[in-house]
Copies of this chain bind each other. A is one copy, B any other.
Amino acid sequence: MLDAAAELALEGAWGTGVDGIAARAGVSRTTVYKWWPSSAAVLLEGLLERTRGTIESTPSATTREALAGYLTALVIVVRDSPAGALLRGLTAASVADPVVGRALIVDWLAPRRGAVVRLLIEGVRRGEVRPGLDYEVVADVLFAPIYYRLMYEHQPLTDRLAEQIMTVSWPGIAAVDATTESTRITK
């Protein structure tokens, strides 16, 4: 049953409604409602199912590289897989449906923000990240531009975006005495 949800999510089945989902899954309309409260819930579950492996960060030499890699991976997921369209749709649905909104925060945003916060804390320990920062704000600054471009499409989600975000934000994140780092970034 979860297979169907995951399958549907990756088919980019947005805008089809419950009817479309039921038809695509080969089950009855009623059956869908038996297990999920809305089409958004089905697709969110499918999305989460298919993106389980994209939460944890891959090991990197430096904190900066780890963060850049993490953001790059996110850009690629939301741009090159149906996850992006799904996220756009779910975000739109979350405006009218608080339950979807909570689920998006808890099951999609929070785990990823948590991974970045862990990287930052580890970075502080290693002396690469400035202590005393508000990690929530740093997570916002790093992640938000990606979702911003995903939602409004005023600018494309390029391959370089993650690195560009780092270029602007890293000097404010890096430990101040790490002159080597910040100078290298600077130019």
Contact = CB atoms under 8 A, between A and B. Distances in A.
Contacts of A153: 101, 105
Nearest to A106: B154
A105 B165 CA distance: 21
Interface string A158-187: 000100110111111100100000100111
Interface stretch (A23-31, A43-51, A72-80, A138-146): A138-146
Interface stretch (A3-11, A52-60, A128-136): A128-136
The bracket for how many chain A residues form the interface is: 35 or more
A170 B130 CA distance: 14
Given A144-B147, A145-B144, A168-B138, A154 B15 contact: no
A176 B168 contact: no
Contact of A169 (B134, B155, B169, B176): B169
A82 B140 CA distance: 23
A89 interface: yes
A104 B155 contact: no
A132 B171 CA distance: 15
The 5 closest A-B pairs by CB, nearest first: A144-B144, A144-B148, A140-B145, A92-B95, A92-B92
Interface of A: 15, 88-89, 91-96, 101, 104-105, 109-110, 113, 130, 132-134, 136-138, 140-141, 143-145, 147-149, 151-155, 161, 164-165, 167-173, 176, 182, 185-187
